[in-house]
């Protein structure tokens, strides 16, 4: 059953987005996230959706599987937008009812706008960020992170060690899933059940899996450390890499495209706002947006 | 009387309808009679593990039928089936988790919701069967036992459920020769005293040839043949095509046959071959 789970959610394909330098992708994802937080108008949201859709299309990942990544936060999105619908009380009143003399239930135009924008923002954030993990293997990600964090070496942060620990952890996720599956089967065969009873009972039922899992993880870690030592592993600066990361022309193009997108968002926020004020007069007065 | 295990037309595919789809079993049909020592052999990836996972419903059936003592393995029978089929997985010592050997062996019976003194009785019986002295081992931590002892303790954990059918997956793997001999002797003893039906999975053809009444050969998810070891191993070509080895005796016999020494029947045990060679010499002298 765990065999079906692919690590992270890397989707193998041969596209321009896949071939970008991981460092570029990490940085641009951060830029994109910052950009999304600066969006204020529906026009900018439309631009962002257009931008994200084109990136997804270029990356050759089925749109449906990208959209699936929203599933995990669906509840959060619904919860947040419904709550905001009730708690934003400025603007034109659409519906009002006094529950008690001091308690009013009120839905306003600003609240509706705010909820819609919040939903869009969360969905855009998650889809955009998941695009990074869709197009980048975990190993590339760690390499990219290591390279990006290397300035921290100046203040004696063991960047290389952190990167090695990360990649080993990633490497062992499938192994441990396999192991978990085996142990679960063995305990099930002895009559254990993991999906019945209350929450305390279920938590207790996990012990027969967790303890053997811990034991074998420690054993594995120990063996791995021995094996690395035996092959003279050391984390000095002189270590070279099998795959050197290199910036190239496509990274520059990607950077320019994302910067262009950011420029549109910022201009729209601070100078333009034209279309939105025509479509929804009054919405811009809403202070929280 | 229904057979201990009856499998008809069983097929299973992993990761159905994804790019990673893999057929693991295809149209498997065979049955294991009560009191039989039944071997399953096959190279890595031939579907052995998938097959035995069906025996107590660890994998959900996709197609076909699996009956244990006439009872179909499905969700509503799961408890009954799991108490009838005892599974000893590869490296069973991985399943040990309790503070003491006693508690670990009692895990199964506890899940069956037995009375305290019944549990006590079963733990004693199980530890006794696997040759671990109750007074000496019951209160020790399973993690401080030796490799062979750990494996015995884990097997005791399965035996304490008093299964009617015992499934053993590579039970002797990774043990030293002495430990291996002990475990195999234990399995034989168990078949005589406790659970008469044993399903034995192994890569070691010598063990299979000397222990099993019948053998099933799996290759690439399909059942190649089922039969008595002598009949199965006499078709050397098929065995080698399935990625398996011949028992040592059969291999030596084949080499002798290549040199022009012919035998009347296939030998599968070393003692047999020795006997046959002795008879041959006696004949040629007279």
Predicted confidence (pLDDT) per residue in B106-151, tens digit: 999 998 888 999 999 999 999 999 989 999 999 999 999 988 899 9
Q: Are B160 and B123 in contact (CB under 8 A)?
A: yes
Closest residue, chain A, to B55 (C-alpha): A189
Residue A186 C-alpha, separation from nearest chain B C-alpha, in angstroms: 6
> Minimal CA–CA distance to A289: which of A157, A128, A117?
A117
Q: How many residues does chain A have?
A: 289
Helices (H), chain B: 48-55, 78-84, 101-111, 116-129, 134-137, 147-159, 177-193, 205-211, 229-234, 236-241, 248-258, 270-285
pTM for the complete prediction?
0.72
Give the pLDDT confidence score for residue A284 in this predicted structure: 52
- B235 or A281, higher pLDDT: B235
pLDDT tens readout for residues A186-227: 898 888 887 777 788 888 888 899 999 998 999 999 999 999
- Kindly determine whether residue B97 and residue A192, on different chains, have CB atoms separated by under 8 Å: no
What's the confidence (pLDDT) of residue B45? 84
Q: Produce one character per residue of A90-113: b if its CB has 16 or more CB atoms within 10 Å, e if not.
A: ebeeeeeeeeeeeeeebbbbbbbb
Domain B5-246 has CATH 3.40.50.300: yes
Residue A4 tokens, joined:
């079906």
Of A190, A192, A208, the CB nearest to B158: A190
Distance from CA of B130 to the nearest CA of A (A): 17
Contact B145, B65 (CB under 8 A): no
Q: Is the pLDDT of residue A286 over 60?
A: no
The token pair that represents A121 in the structure block: 């923002």
| Domain residue ranges in chain B | 5-246, 247-286
State whether B58 and A187 contact (CB < 8 Å): no
Average pLDDT taken over every residue of chain A: 83
Residue B79 contacts A where some CB pair is shorter than 8 Å: yes
Q: What percent of chain A has pLDDT over 70?
A: 90
User: How far apart are the C-alpha atoms of B4 and B165, rounded to whole Å?
Assistant: 7
Q: Please list every residue in chain A whose beta carbon sits closer than 8 Å to the beta carbon of residue B157.
A: 190
Distance, in Å, from the CA atom of B138 to the CA atom of A83, rounded to the nearest integer, reads 58
Q: Is B156 near chain A, with CB under 8 Å? A: no
Cα A241 versus chain centre, distance:
27
- Shortest alpha-carbon distance between residue A137 and chain B (Å): 18
Domain boundaries, chain A: 2-151+244-285, 159-234
Q: Which of B111, B114, B145, B168 to mutate to test the interface with A (most CBs of A within 10 A)?
A: B111
Residue B158 CB: number of other CB atoms within 10 A?
Answer: 27
Chain-chain contact of B94 with A190 (C-beta, under 8 angstroms): no
Q: Give the three-class secondary structure for B133.
A: coil
- Residue B56's CB: how many other CB atoms inside 10 A? 24
Check whether A3 has a pLDDT greater than 50.
Answer: no
Give the tens place of pLDDT for each residue, A135-154.
988 888 888 988 898 888 88
B177-193 and B147-159 helices, crossing angle to 10°: 20
Query: B87 and B158 in contact (C-beta within 8 Å)?
Result: yes
Whether the Cβ atoms of residue A67 and residue A73 lie closer than 8 Å to each other: no
Interface touch A190/B157, C-beta < 8 Å: yes
C-alpha distance from A234 to closest chain B C-alpha (Å): 32
The pLDDT assigned to A288 comes to 46
Reported as a single tens digit per residue, the pLDDT across A55-72 is: 999 998 888 888 877 887
Overall residue count recorded for chain B in this entry: 286
**What mean pLDDT comes out for the span A80-98?**
78
Mean pLDDT of B197-225: 92
Mean per-residue pLDDT over chain B, rounded = 90
Tell me: pLDDT of B201 over 90: yes
A173-182: long-range pairs with CB below 8 Å, 24+: A173/A7, A174/A7, A175/A220, A176/A213, A176/A217, A177/A2, A177/A5, A178/A2, A178/A3, A179/A213, A179/A216, A179/B94, A180/A2, A180/A209, A180/A213, A181/A1, A181/A2, A182/B89, A182/B94
Instruction: Inspect the interface and report whether the beta carbons of A211 and B161 lie closer than 8 Å.
Output: no
Q: Do B14 and A182 touch (CB under 8 A)?
A: no
**DSSP assignment of A27-55, as one string?**
HHHHHHHHHHHH--SHHHHHHHHHHHHHH
DSSP of A185-248, one letter per residue?
HHHHHTT--SSSS-HHHHHHHTHHHHHHHHHHHHHHHHHHHHHHHHTT----TT---SS-----
pLDDT higher than threshold 80 for residue A1: no
Best mutation target, B50, B97, B143, B151, to test chain A (most A CBs within 10 A): B97
- At B180, list the tokens: 């291996």
* Nearest beta carbon to residue B107 from set A182, A208, A215: A208
């Amino acid at each position: 059953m765990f065999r079906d789970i692919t690590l992270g959610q890397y989707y193998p394909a041969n596209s321009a987005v896949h071939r970008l330098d991981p460092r570029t992708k990490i940085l641009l994802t951060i830029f994109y996230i910052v950009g999304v937080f600066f969006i204020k108008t529906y026009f900018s949201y439309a631009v962002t959706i257009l931008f994200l859709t084109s990136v997804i299309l270029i990356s050759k990942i089925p749109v449906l599987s990208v959209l699936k990544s929203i599933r995990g936060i669906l509840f959060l999105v619904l919860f947040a937008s419904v709550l905001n619908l009730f708690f934003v009380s400025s603007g034109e009143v659409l519906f009002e009812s006094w529950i008690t003399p001091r308690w009013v239930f009120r839905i306003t135009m600003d609240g509706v706008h705010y909820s819609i924008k919040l939903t869009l923002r969360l969905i855009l954030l998650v889809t955009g960020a998941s695009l990074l993990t869709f197009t980048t293997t975990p190993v590339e990600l760690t390499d990219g992170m290591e390279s990006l964090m290397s300035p921290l070496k100046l203040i004696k942060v063991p960047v290389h060690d952190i990167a090695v620990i990360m990649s080993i952890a990633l490497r062992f996720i499938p192994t441990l899933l396999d192991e978990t599956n085996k142990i679960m089967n063995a305990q099930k065969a002895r009559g254990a059940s993991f999906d019945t009873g209350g929450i305390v009972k279920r938590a207790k039922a996990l012990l027969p899996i967790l303890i053997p899992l811990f034991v074998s993880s420690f054993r594995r870690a120990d063996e791995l450390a021995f094996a690395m030592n035996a092959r003279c592993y050391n984390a000095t600066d002189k270590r070279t890499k099998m795959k050197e990361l290199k910036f190239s022309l496509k990274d520059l193009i990607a950077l320019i495209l994302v910067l262009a997108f950011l420029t549109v968002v910022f201009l729209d926020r601070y100078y333009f706002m034209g279309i939105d004020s025509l479509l929804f007069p009054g919405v811009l007065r809403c202070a929280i947006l | 009387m229904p057979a201990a295990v009856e499998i008809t037309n069983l097929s299973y595919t992993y990761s159905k309808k994804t790019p990673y789809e893999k057929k693991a079993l295809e149209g498997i049909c065979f049955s294991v009679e009560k009191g039989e020592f039944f071997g399953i052999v096959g190279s890595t990836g031939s579907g052995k593990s998938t097959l035995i996972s069906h025996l107590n419903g660890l994998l959900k059936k996709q197609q076909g039928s699996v009956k244990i003592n006439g009872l179909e393995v499905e969700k509503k029978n799961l408890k009954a089936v799991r108490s009838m089929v005892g599974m000893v997985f590869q490296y069973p010592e991985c399943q040990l988790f309790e503070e003491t050997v006693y508690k670990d062996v009692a895990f199964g019976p506890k899940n069956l919701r037995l009375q305290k003194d019944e549990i006590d009785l079963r733990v004693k019986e199980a530890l006794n069967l696997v040759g671990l002295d109750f007074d000496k081992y019951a209160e020790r931590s399973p993690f401080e036992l030796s490799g062979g002892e750990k494996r015995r303790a884990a097997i005791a954990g399965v035996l304490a459920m008093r299964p009617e059918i015992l499934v053993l997956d590579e039970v002797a793997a990774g043990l030293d020769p002495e430990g291996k001999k002990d475990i195999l002797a234990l399995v034989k003893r168990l078949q005589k005293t406790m659970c008469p039906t044993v399903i034995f999975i192994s890569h070691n053809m010598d063990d299979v040839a000397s222990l099993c009444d019948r053998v099933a050969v799996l290759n690439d998810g399909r059942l190649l043949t089922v039969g008595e070891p002598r009949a199965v191993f006499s078709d050397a070509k098929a065995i080698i095509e399935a990625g398996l080895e011949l028992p040592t005796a059969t291999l030596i016999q084949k080499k002798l046959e290549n040199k022009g020494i012919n035998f009347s029947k296939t030998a599968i045990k070393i003692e047999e071959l020795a006997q046959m060679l002795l008879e041959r010499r006696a004949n040629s002298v007279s």
